[in-house]
Structure 1
């Protein structure tokens, strides 16, 4: 049945890329009994120097601190420039903060300024996604990703009892590609789409403009007498609103939240084991006016978050670590999500790269698809860190007794169980050779593991699979039961 459902429409959007049938991914048939027939029938498409501290080489030998980091698109794209004046302005801003404080700032403060400074932050004034940007995310790889997130969303909506009104929220929508593919794929399911009010949580004015265009948004008159207008997506006629934070999204309605590669950009605090115990890593200005890492000589406010995180860990896990990363904003966001879902109903899907346990040392900077030094030319590179999924679980459980947490499972299992193999077979039917090659490459990036074995192009452009590096976790209201595909007896990490 699922094969017939996903083959029923062969719409291939311009953003598509393709498919390779993998022996390691066998989509389950559980959807045939979980979904109503009509749901998918037509689914379319301080200041001591770090050098003075004990060596942390031992931590690099541990699984939790030796990370194979991947952003799924690290190749050499056409050159593009970053504005030197903006970077220079941000450097001055950072040095001004350090001078005003009379000492170093935390890695989290540095990260937040670099990414979201209103005038010169990395995300604030330019499009950083895609081959012409700095990194590629799953929705940009293939339309299939957004379509299958749409399948998951409709499944949850059915488990919620098909409510007449639903807040569909995406955190950090990027260009809006995921939401566009989701809405386009669900456009034939009138009862579902008529229930939606789409909310895009985005702080970047530049990305908000892109998000307006991608789902084909337009103004619609609310009433002839008032002259008021609202923004709707032309794909499904659903209203679309933008907000700077989740808290600004009105509560009181059943809610579905999508957070894809959002938690990894939240600012993290780094701690290193020193002779005096755990010390927070800070950013200071060196004698030559460059930025350098130092350790705080005394406890910092973020130490409270470190203590909380350590209370969730086993002594054996802590004993082998020389460094620890904690994300207080991630804990707070998870708490807010859990409280909202616990009171209003619904669920949240979180997909990101990370670990189901304490993260040791994962902070990275990517510029033009290449790893660069974290302190080099701040504002010109993306900063991100591995997501601590265990911390998300504990934060949600503490925030509300009315939610249940499922996963994490690896992305290849998640997409495989939702039918990505069947979907790609349907798309391939109407493809030319070039489109088929793109779909094949895109499929591998989404569900493969390591370098693609079929690649015949340039070595520096070999597709790197993120099927086992990205994890999926769901937080849902307990009244709705276990969401798909977490009810499929898949081994959770």
Structure 2
């Protein structure tokens, strides 16, 4: 224990002197509004035996989230010209099948369709995009993640080679800040093999640029290229899925705002039992919600999720969201950690329990109709952290799950307060304001008390809205922040 504490203290001291302050203002991963976390947007009515309750509901059956602080930047446009093609594609699927499609299939097509998916062909992050995420708020976020990863590496026995995997790296900002923050720890940096799991060619190019990568000829005579990040001389590889990351090495996985974009199935309680919400073609608009007239394959996942909850909790709910891909991904992560050693860090907005009705769409920092102009807005849903925990524990007896804890608790235990104090010692008034604003957004709760600017841009802390969970091999012991 003393060794781990000494390592953390040494890491924080070096971090305090690692960078010049101006880099803080240029630091820019993924999804959150400029001043608050995502919130729930209204959905169109369902055409079926019964309608959703548009009025107030019990806390356990509907998520109530403050969305008053969403930042609305100047209008801009980056809608793809192929959006109409995606509408035609979705209608074609429905027509070919002779019936509606699931919300999950709609969500997957909208986000990752190879030609017109929201993430595929453009940069959607930052104030000029559609949302802002923690790594873009402040470089301190990536630096603290670096401290956590390095401490876990120490607990793993400082292996000479380790796979560092990031799922959905966005612009590559988190990884870039992590590398800069830990660059002085030679043994740690030299052990890293970085793997970026990214399906978007456009974002892959942006990550390549932000990590300052260069492609070198391999030394084995093959035509394959070896990519190196010039930030630290670390090899970097890209993959479309976690399964493509080579196994056999201890592995540390970062999943920051990745689970929330995985497609969810939605179910509503009706007089005939739980019915899956589907999406069909409407006469007066492109799409509408309906209820499936019969049982669907996804109901098996609903049954699995319900077995992890108490009967009283289920009885209070009128709607339930389940995410089969989150369960499958967690199984993959747990099995990899079980066989190769290491751990995974999951950071996202969500609940430590069943999620009722949270699916939402954001375009240009504004909430929009989920079915409006598919492909032009981000779709996401609250993460069911309880489901992740049960999935990991069922996948392997060799892993243990810690958390979730709040983002504020997580970053605080890593020493973000010491980092911000060190940066504030040598900065301009403008930089100090940026530091305080970024710090509050990462660890604060509610509106920042020090804000003197426009009311519609007051920083909203997401320190308690975002949750953090760790899945680690039992051999590593309890990771820092969860002790």
Same topology, TM > 0.5: yes
1:281, distance to aligned residue in structure 2 (A): 0.3
CA distance in 1: counterparts of 2:47 and 2:175, whole angstroms: 44
Q: Are 1:65 and 2:74 matched, yes or no?
A: no
Contact 2:140–2:419 (CA under 8 A) maintained in structure 1: yes
What SS class does the counterpart of residue 23 from structure 2 fall into? coil
CA distance in 2: counterparts of 1:310 and 1:336, whole angstroms: 22
Contact 2:216–2:227 (CA under 8 A) maintained in structure 1: yes
What SS class does the counterpart of residue 441 from structure 2 fall into? helix
Q: Give 1:374's aligned residue.
A: 370
| Match among 335, 339, 343 for residue 339 of structure 1 | 335
Q: Are 1:194 and 2:190 matched, yes or no?
A: yes
**What are the ranges of 5 or more consecutive residues in structure 1 without an aligned counterpart?**
19-47, 488-493
Contact 2:15–2:182 (CA under 8 A) maintained in structure 1: no
1:12, distance to aligned residue in structure 2 (A): 2.6
1:458, distance to aligned residue in structure 2 (A): 1.6
Contact 1:352–1:387 (CA under 8 A) maintained in structure 2: yes
Moved more, 5-14 or 320-329: 5-14
Q: Give 2:42's aligned residue.
A: none
CA distance in 2: counterparts of 1:225 and 1:73, whole angstroms: 56
* Structure-to-structure mapping, 1:391-406, within 5 angstroms: 391-406=387-402
What SS class does the counterpart of residue 61 from structure 1 fall into? coil
CA distance in 2: counterparts of 1:68 and 1:258, whole angstroms: 26
CA distance in 2: counterparts of 1:447 and 1:158, whole angstroms: 26
1:228, distance to aligned residue in structure 2 (A): 5.2
* Residues 193 and 289 of structure 1, relative CA distance in 2, 3 Å threshold: same
1:64, distance to aligned residue in structure 2 (A): 5.0
* Residues 325 and 103 of structure 1, relative CA distance in 2, 3 Å threshold: same
CA distance in 2: counterparts of 1:223 and 1:411, whole angstroms: 43
Contact 1:10–1:430 (CA under 8 A) maintained in structure 2: no
Deviations 1:148-169 (A, max 9, x none): 0000000000000000110000
* Residues 228 and 378 of structure 1, relative CA distance in 2, 3 Å threshold: closer
1:14, distance to aligned residue in structure 2 (A): 3.0
| Match among 21, 41, 48 for residue 12 of structure 1 | 21
CA distance in 2: counterparts of 1:82 and 1:10, whole angstroms: 34
1:193, distance to aligned residue in structure 2 (A): 0.6
Q: Are 1:408 and 2:404 matched, yes or no?
A: yes
1:69, distance to aligned residue in structure 2 (A): 6.0
* Residues 226 and 245 of structure 1, relative CA distance in 2, 3 Å threshold: closer
Deviations 1:354-410 (A, max 9, x none): 000000000000001011111111111000000000000000000001000000000
1:187, distance to aligned residue in structure 2 (A): 0.7
1:289, distance to aligned residue in structure 2 (A): 4.1
Q: Give 1:481's aligned residue.
A: 477
What SS class does the counterpart of residue 57 from structure 2 fall into? helix
| Match among 290, 293, 296 for residue 300 of structure 1 | 296
Contact 2:14–2:184 (CA under 8 A) maintained in structure 1: no
1:89, distance to aligned residue in structure 2 (A): 1.0
Higher relative contact order (CA closer than 8 Å, sequence separation 6+): 1
Contact 2:349–2:467 (CA under 8 A) maintained in structure 1: yes
The number of equivalent residue pairs is 457
Contact 1:231–1:240 (CA under 8 A) maintained in structure 2: yes
* Residues 227 and 293 of structure 1, relative CA distance in 2, 3 Å threshold: closer
**What are the ranges of 5 or more consecutive residues in structure 2 without an aligned counterpart?**
1-5, 28-44
CA distance in 2: counterparts of 1:69 and 1:307, whole angstroms: 31
TM-score calculated relative to the size of structure 1:
0.89
1:290, distance to aligned residue in structure 2 (A): 2.1
Contact 1:417–1:485 (CA under 8 A) maintained in structure 2: yes
CA distance in 2: counterparts of 1:312 and 1:153, whole angstroms: 30
| Match among 440, 444, 461 for residue 444 of structure 1 | 440
What SS class does the counterpart of residue 423 from structure 2 fall into? helix
TM-score calculated relative to the size of structure 2:
0.91
CA distance in 2: counterparts of 1:441 and 1:345, whole angstroms: 38
Q: Give 1:181's aligned residue.
A: 177
Q: Are 1:133 and 2:142 matched, yes or no?
A: no
Q: Are 1:53 and 2:50 matched, yes or no?
A: yes
CA distance in 2: counterparts of 1:209 and 1:6, whole angstroms: 28
1:419, distance to aligned residue in structure 2 (A): 0.4
Q: Give 1:435's aligned residue.
A: 431
* Structure-to-structure mapping, 1:243-254, within 5 angstroms: 243-254=239-250
What SS class does the counterpart of residue 386 from structure 2 fall into? helix
Moved more, 222-231 or 377-386: 222-231
CA distance in 2: counterparts of 1:258 and 1:73, whole angstroms: 28
| Match among 199, 203, 213 for residue 203 of structure 1 | 199
1:174, distance to aligned residue in structure 2 (A): 0.1
Contact 2:61–2:316 (CA under 8 A) maintained in structure 1: no
| Match among 310, 318, 329 for residue 325 of structure 2 | 329
Contact 1:56–1:322 (CA under 8 A) maintained in structure 2: no
Give the superposed CA RMSD. Answer: 2.0
1:223, distance to aligned residue in structure 2 (A): 2.3
Contact 1:120–1:379 (CA under 8 A) maintained in structure 2: yes
